[in-house]
C-alpha cells in the first residue's frame, strides 16, 4: 500500500525476492516463484467456487473478527514456511493479502489458495483481504494498468464512478468466495493517496466510487473497509461523515495510512470520534525489512482496533468452582486448603482424570487420580500434588501460539502456568493477552534463555510444561 514503483518493495518484487529467507530455507526449496498458480481474480468455475464457499463457510471464521493487535501487509502472500516462522516469532497476528484489482503489482499470487487461507485462519491468523483497482485521476503514479476512477460528473452525480465501485465489489466478493473468505469478513478497498484532497472532481468521483463499493459489499453480506492516506481518502470520507452527506455511503471500517511510527489508530487528519469504537486500524510504518524466525519480509506495519477488541468470554468450571489463584501451592493429604483442592479436582475432572465431586477434601480418590495423572504424564508418582504438577497441568493441553491480541481459554491456561512459574507474579487470569501477559512471558523467556519476544510460542510452552 502507498507503494512507489521505484521503492524498495517494488524493486524486490521485480527481482522475485519480495520474501527472502535464510540460505538454508531457500536451499530447501521453501520459496515458491511467482506464476505457479492462476490469479485469484480468475478463480475456479462458478459451480466449483460455490462448492468451495459452502465447505469454507462450515470451517472458516469471518475475518478479522474482534481483534486488537499488530498486523503486516506486503505485495505477495508469504509462503507457508514464512507464515509459520512469523507466527512463532513475530508480534504480528494479522496479515493483509491482495485478492483482486487490476492495479495490483503482484497479480500472480502463487501461495494464495483456499488451502492457504484455511490454514492461516486455523492457526490463528487474522486475514485482511485487499482490492487495489481503479484509482483517482489525481493519483499521479496510477493507474498502473489503465484502471482509473471515471471523473465524469453530470448534474452533480458521479454515476459512472459509482457503477465502477459496484463492479469492483462484485469482483472482490467473487475472489473472496473462491478463496474461502466467508461473508461477515471485512473486504478492504485500497484507494491510494493524492496530494490535493480539495480537488472537487477527484473528491466527488472517489466518494461516489467508494459508496458504490460499500453498498455492493453490503449486498453480498460482507463488511466494507477502505484503506487510504490520512490526508486524502480518509480526509474526504471523514468530512463527508461530519457533514452528514446522505449521498455518501460510508464504509464500516477505515484503514488509515499515516507513517508516524505510532502504533495506535489516531491521526490529526481526522476527528477522533469517527469509526469508533472498534472500526479503525492504522498503517503506522511504511515499507521496511523485518526478520523473524530467520525469514525476512519487506512489510508495512499496522495496528488494529477492530470489533470488541481485547475481551474474552467469561469462563466457568464445574458449576462455579473457582480455579484461578494468585499462586498455586503444593497440596497433599490432610491439607486444609479446601479452595485449591476443589480447583484441582475440578480441573482434573475436566481433563477426564477424576470422576468424583469437586469437594475440598484431599481424599483417597484424589490421591489415586493424582498418581494416575502423574504416571500418564511421565512424572514420578506421589501422593502429593506439586507446583510442577500445576504447571504441567496448565501447559500440557492445547498449545497454540499466543501473542499480544490473543484471547480465550488457552490464554487463561498460559496465565495460570505463568503464575505457577514466576514467584509473586499474581497475573490476572482474564483470558486477554495484553501488555501484562506479554511482559510476564518475556520475563519467563529470559529466565529460560529463550530470548524475550513476548510470544508464547512452541518453545515457551515446552519450557512451561517442563
| From 52-61, 317-326, 429-438, the region with the lowest mean pLDDT | 52-61
Number of structural domains the chain divides into:
2
Percent of the chain whose pLDDT exceeds 90: 79
In a domain, 328, yes or no: no
Of the two residues 141 and 261, the one the predictor is more confident about is: 261
- Non-local (6+) Cβ contacts of 15 within 8 A are none
Q: Which three cell numbers stand for residue 262?
A: 505510532
Phi first, then psi: what are they for 417, rounded to 5°?
-65, -40
Phi first, then psi: what are they for 96, rounded to 5°?
-80, 135
| From 51-55, 152-156, 358-362, 375-379, the region with the lowest mean pLDDT | 51-55
Q: Are residues 379 and 247 in the same domain?
A: no
Please state the rounded mean pLDDT for residues 344-348: 96
Q: Are residues 259 and 172 in the same domain?
A: yes
Q: Are residues 302 and 349 in the same domain?
A: no
The CATH code of the domain that includes 63 is 3.20.20.80
Residue corresponding to grid cell 519476544: 453
Please state the rounded mean pLDDT for residues 436-460: 95
* Structural domain range at position 437: 338-465
The helix, strand and coil proportions of the chain, stated in percent and rounded to the nearest 5, come to: 35, 15, 45
Please report the pLDDT score of residue 163 as a whole number: 98
Q: Are residues 285 and 352 in the same domain?
A: no
Q: Are residues 290 and 359 in the same domain?
A: no
In a domain, 311, yes or no: no
In a domain, 314, yes or no: no
Q: Reply yes or no on whether the pLDDT at 54 is more than 90.
A: no
Task: Write down the H helix ranges in 180-309.
Answer: 200-219, 233-243
Q: Which three cell numbers stand for residue 383?
A: 501422593
Please state the rounded mean pLDDT for residues 210-231: 98
Q: Reply yes or no on whether the pLDDT at 30 is more than 50.
A: no
pLDDT in tens, 13-24: 323 333 333 222
Percent of the chain whose pLDDT exceeds 70: 86
| From 138-142, 277-281, 307-311, 436-440, the region with the lowest mean pLDDT | 138-142
Q: Point out which residues pair with 290 in neighbouring strands.
A: 297
CA distance 338 to 68: 38
78 DSSP 8-state letter = P
Q: Are residues 44 and 86 in the same domain?
A: yes
pLDDT in tens, 123-146: 999 999 999 999 998 987 655 666
In a domain, 327, yes or no: no
Q: Are residues 301 and 354 in the same domain?
A: no
**CB of 307 closer than 8 Å to CB of 225:** no
Q: Are residues 231 and 187 in the same domain?
A: yes
The CATH code of the domain that includes 440 is 1.10.101.10
Phi first, then psi: what are they for 159, rounded to 5°?
-65, -35
Q: Are residues 291 and 416 in the same domain?
A: no
Q: Are residues 182 and 268 in the same domain?
A: yes
Q: Are residues 101 and 209 in the same domain?
A: yes
Please report the pLDDT score of residue 210 as a whole number: 98
User: Strand 67-73 to strand 92-100: parallel, antiparallel, or no bridges (unpaired)?
Assistant: parallel
Please report the pLDDT score of residue 10 as a whole number: 30
Please report the pLDDT score of residue 327 as a whole number: 87
Buried b (16+ CB within 10 A) or exposed e, 90-118: bbbbbbbbbbbbbbbbbbebbbbbbebbb
Name the band, by pLDDT with cuts 50, 70 and 90, for residue 43.
Answer: very low
Q: Reply yes or no on whether the pLDDT at 95 is more than 60.
A: yes
Pick from 261, 283, 306: which residue ends a domain?
306
Please state the rounded mean pLDDT for residues 114-127: 96
In a domain, 35, yes or no: yes
Please state the rounded mean pLDDT for residues 423-451: 95
In a domain, 319, yes or no: no
Q: Whats the size of the chain, residue-wise? A: 466
CA distance 405 to 410: 13
Q: Are residues 294 and 245 in the same domain?
A: yes
Please report the pLDDT score of residue 141 as a whole number: 67
pLDDT in tens, 181-192: 999 999 999 999
In a domain, 105, yes or no: yes
Q: Reply yes or no on whether the pLDDT at 104 is more than 60.
A: yes
Please report the pLDDT score of residue 144 as a whole number: 66
Q: Reply yes or no on whether the pLDDT at 347 is more than 50.
A: yes
Query: Quick one: three-class SS letters along 75-122?
Result: CCCCCHHHHHHHHHHCCEEEEEEEEECCCCCCCCCCCCCHHHHHHHHH
pLDDT in tens, 276-286: 999 999 999 99
Q: Reply yes or no on whether the pLDDT at 344 is more than 80.
A: yes
Please report the pLDDT score of residue 309 as a whole number: 81
In a domain, 198, yes or no: yes
Q: Reply yes or no on whether the pLDDT at 324 is more than 80.
A: yes
Amino acid at each position: 500500500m502507498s507503494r512507489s514503483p521505484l521503492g524498495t518493495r517494488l524493486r524486490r518484487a521485480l527481482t522475485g525476492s519480495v520474501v527472502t529467507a535464510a540460505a538454508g530455507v531457500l536451499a530447501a526449496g521453501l520459496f515458491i516463484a511467482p506464476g505457479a498458480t492462476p490469479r485469484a481474480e480468475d478463480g475456479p468455475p462458478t459451480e466449483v467456487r460455490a462448492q468451495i464457499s459452502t465447505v469454507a463457510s462450515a470451517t472458516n471464521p469471518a475475518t478479522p473478527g474482534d481483534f486488537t493487535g499488530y498486523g503486516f501487509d506486503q505485495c505477495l502472500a508469504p509462503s507457508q514456511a514464512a507464515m509459520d516462522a512469523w507466527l512463532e516469532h513475530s508480534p504480528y497476528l494479522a496479515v493483509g493479502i491482495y485478492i483482486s484489482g487490476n492495479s495490483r503489482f503482484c497479480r500472480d499470487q502463487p501461495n494464495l489458495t483456499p488451502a492457504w487461507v484455511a490454514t492461516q485462519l486455523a492457526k490463528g491468523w487474522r486475514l485482511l483481504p485487499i482490492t487495489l483497482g481503479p484509482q483517482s485521476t489525481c493519483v499521479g503514479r496510477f493507474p498502473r494498468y489503465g484502471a482509473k476512477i471515471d471523473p465524469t460528473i453530470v448534474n452533480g452525480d458521479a454515476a459512472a464512478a459509482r457503477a465502477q465501485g459496484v463492479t469492483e465489489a462484485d469482483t472482490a466478493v467473487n475472489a473472496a468466495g473462491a478463496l474461502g473468505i466467508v461473508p461477515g469478513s471485512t473486504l478492504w478497498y485500497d484507494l491510494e493517496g493524492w496530494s490535493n484532497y480539495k480537488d472537487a472532481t477527484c473528491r466527488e468521483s472517489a466518494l461516489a466510487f467508494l459508496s458504490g463499493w460499500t453498498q455492493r459489499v453490503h449486498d453480498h453480506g460482507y463488511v466494507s473497509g477502505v484503506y487510504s492516506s490520512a490526508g486524502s481518502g480518509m480526509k474526504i470520507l471523514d468530512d463527508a461523515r461530519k457533514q452528514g452527506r446522505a449521498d455518501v455511503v460510508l464504509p464500516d471500517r477505515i484503514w488509515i495510512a499515516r507513517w508516524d511510527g505510532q502504533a495506535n489508530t489516531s491521526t490529526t487528519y481526522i476527528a477522533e470520534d469517527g469509526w469508533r469504537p472498534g472500526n479503525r486500524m492504522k498503517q503506522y510504518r511504511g515499507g521496511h525489512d523485518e526478520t523473524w524466525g530467520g525469514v525476512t519480509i519487506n512489510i508495512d506495519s499496522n495496528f488494529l482496533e477492530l470489533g470488541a477488541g481485547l475481551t474474552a468470554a467469561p469462563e466457568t468450571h464445574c458449576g462455579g468452582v473457582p480455579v484461578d489463584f494468585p499462586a498455586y501451592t503444593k497440596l497433599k493429604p490432610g491439607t486444609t486448603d479446601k479452595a485449591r483442592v476443589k480447583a484441582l479436582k475440578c480441573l482434573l475432572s475436566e481433563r477426564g482424570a477424576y470422576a468424583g465431586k469437586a469437594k475440598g477434601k484431599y481424599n483417597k480418590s484424589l490421591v489415586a487420580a493424582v498418581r494416575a495423572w502423574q504416571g500418564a504424564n511421565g512424572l514420578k508418582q506421589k501422593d502429593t500434588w506439586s507446583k510442577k504438577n500445576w504447571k504441567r497441568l496448565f501447559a500440557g493441553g492445547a498449545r497454540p501460539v499466543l501473542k499480544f491480541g490473543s484471547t480465550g481459554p488457552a490464554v487463561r491456561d498460559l496465565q495460570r502456568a505463568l503464575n505457577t512459574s514466576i514467584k509473586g507474579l499474581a497475573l490476572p487470569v482474564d483470558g486477554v493477552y495484553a501488555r501484562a501477559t506479554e511482559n510476564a512471558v518475556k520475563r519467563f523467556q529470559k529466565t529460560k534463555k529463550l530470548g524475550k519476544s513476548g510470544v508464547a510460542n512452541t518453545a515457551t510452552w515446552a519450557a512451561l510444561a517442563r
